[in-house]
Chains A and B, each alone.
Chain A
Amino acid sequence: MKILMKNFRKNKRDGSPAFIPVLLILALCAVLIAVSMGQVNIPLDQTVMIILKKLFNVELPGFKDIPTSYFNIVWMIRFPRTLTSLMVGMGLSLCGIVMQASVENPLADPYILGISSGATLGATFALMIGVGSIPVIGNVGVAGCAFTGALAASFLVLFFANIGGKTTGAKLVLAGTVINSMFSAFSNMIIYFADNSQALQSVTFWIMGSTASATWNKVPMVASVTLITVIFFLAQSSNLNLMLMGEEAATTLGVNLTFWRRIYLIIASLITGILVANCGMIGFVGLVIPHITRAIFGANHRILTPYTVLIGGIFMTVTDLLSRMLVTGSELPVGIITASIGAPVFLYMLLKKDYGFGGA
């Protein structure tokens, strides 16, 4: 690690994040391995052949010998799912950085602005009361309700934090906490009164998060939203840096803090809403990945943002693979794995002295 850091410092001058190629290759490997492995192990070369054929229409010798079942598993089930995991990891960790900078609080994660509880309320409502049977709203489904709930919650938070004129980071976090407990209370009320054990199980599964429902028709939406947001925030690194200087310093260094903060939070809420609506709530990624990356590479967003996004993507791809592999014949919700890996890592960093999480 020390040598890595030294090398890294040398490269810093020209502002080029030197490890991007390495991480890109790692990400590619992670995706390929995740697609090959599972209940049925498929040889890596056959996986590559299937993907090459489908993506670039390149047919390597030997393609004809691949069984159709392999083809279906790789292309119809695992590939869209792995891509979704990659995007979710990228998106959530990106939102983590953005939220931490916007509210200038190292504790912030994509869920701090009440987004999680809003989404949960939406999903609980859909699953327990059964919107499926109601025309029009029924088509929107659980995902749509969760998304609406997430957005409603974050707009409420922005609204409350803005009362009294000046929005501060502290006010945003507090408003988020209030909305969180209020919405959780509503969800619990619905769960308590609705007597539907089957729906309860799907609510539970949903709260724990999973990419199992990923299909090809959901991938374009998730991928395009994530990639566009990543590009947008890569272009904003200088503003994000200045936001970390504190409200006063950011203002005197020329950032229109109120304006950008609102824009960033709305964009981050939107993307979190979409991700949560598709995969449920996957905790800890948005909190832990930015901190780990910051501990290794420093807080400068010019470098931090691309690294965090890639590391987040790799992390989710691998944990999703684990969620399929750990228990034979069954599947663990991925949220359980991210939390059980994330928490000890976070603790380790807390105990290590040279990363302060902020409080010097």
Chain B
Amino acid sequence: MNLEVKELKVTLGRTNIVKGVSLKVEEGQSVGIIGPNGCGKSTLLKAIYRVNPIEKGKVLLNGKSMACMTPKEVAKNIAVVGQFNEMSFDFSVEDMVLMGRSPHKKMMEAFNDEDYCILDDALEKTELKGLRDRSFLSLSGGEKQRVILARAIAQKPKLLILDEPTNHLDVKFQFEVLELVKSLGISTLSVLHDVELSARYCDYIYALKAGKVVKEGTPQKLLTRETIRTLYDVDSEIYNNPITGALSVTYLPGREAV
């Protein structure tokens, strides 16, 4: 499944937040968006998954305009793990995850063995088996986040959109969640707060500032001192970590720019 966003503009209230962003997610590719607070990352994602109204521009899913698709059709292809999962009503973990199956069901259709298999699999992958009968609202932030991820997995999407999926997670689960997402082998579009994590798990990164793409490229190419400086106004040192071999960023706040 590939996703193409063309010259997208989003205005909320009177503020023009996303000012013409184009990006592409190829089949099986994992694409990241980085940028400072308030640069329009989440607004852009929400416009793509159709919660925010699109002012101008197009979102194409496999070449087909998403504006012409029904919510159900979209939900069969795209799953979303959002930033806030506040709910006013309580459900058991099992019920929550099962809801991921509903886009695949007709109005009156009951869940069948296949759905329960997918449920078990999703719970297994997110290590939630022991919590399946617990009430969702009684869970910790990290556990809630895993339930939402399990629901997205149960949805069997072809594209997964993640908005800061590691927000409430412990270090262990941060890596596990991202490994898990990677192991699904589907296209992903994610906003990650942590630049090092995006470097590690994304094949391609778009750097967003003030509603515009200021730079794009592979992590190795994109992540430079200059990029960090432009995005976050902070000086830094970027190097290959001698222990892990992965790209590392050390921030050096307060140091005058050279």
Q: Is A245 interfacial (CB 8 A cutoff)?
A: yes
| Other-chain contact of A248, B82, B91, B105, B110 (Cβ < 8 Å) | B82
Q: Cα distance A244–B137 when bound, in Å?
A: 13
Q: Is the CB of B90 within 8 A of A9?
A: no
Q: Is the CB of B133 within 8 A of A253?
A: no
Q: Is the CB of B103 within 8 A of A104?
A: no
Query: Which B residues contact A (CB, under 8 angstroms)?
Result: 46, 49-51, 53, 70-76, 78-80, 82, 84-92, 95-96, 99-100, 102-103, 105, 107-108, 110-111, 116, 133, 137-138, 155
Q: List 11 A-B contacts (CB under 8 A).
A: A15-B110, A100-B89, A104-B89, A106-B89, A165-B53, A249-B82, A252-B74, A252-B79, A253-B102, A358-B89, A360-B138
Query: Which A residues contact B (CB, under 8 angstroms)?
Result: 9, 13, 15, 100, 104-106, 165-166, 235-236, 238-239, 241-242, 244-249, 251-257, 294, 298-300, 356, 358-360
CB distance from B111 to the nearest CB of A (A): 7
Query: Chain A residues near B105 (CB, 8 Å)?
Result: 238
Q: Is the CB of B51 within 8 A of A253?
A: no
| Other-chain contact of A246, B49, B75, B87, B111 (Cβ < 8 Å) | B87
Q: Is the CB of B133 within 8 A of A360?
A: no
Query: Chain B residues near A242 (CB, 8 Å)?
Result: 99, 102
With both beta carbons as reference points, the residue of chain B lying nearest to A295 in the complex is identified as B90
With both beta carbons as reference points, the residue of chain B lying nearest to A250 in the complex is identified as B71
Q: Is the CB of A252 within 8 A of B91?
A: no
Q: Cα distance A146–B14 when bound, in Å?
A: 41
With both beta carbons as reference points, the residue of chain A lying nearest to B81 in the complex is identified as A252
With both beta carbons as reference points, the residue of chain B lying nearest to A247 in the complex is identified as B51
Q: Is the CB of A248 within 8 A of B108?
A: no
Residue of A100, A105, A245 with most chain B CB atoms under a 10 A cut-off? A245
| Other-chain contact of B88, A9, A13, A15, A106 (Cβ < 8 Å) | A106
Which 6 pairs from chain A and chain B are nearest by CB?
A254-B75, A360-B137, A254-B103, A358-B88, A254-B72, A252-B80
CB distance from B86 to the nearest CB of A (A): 7
CB distance from A100 to the nearest CB of B (A): 8
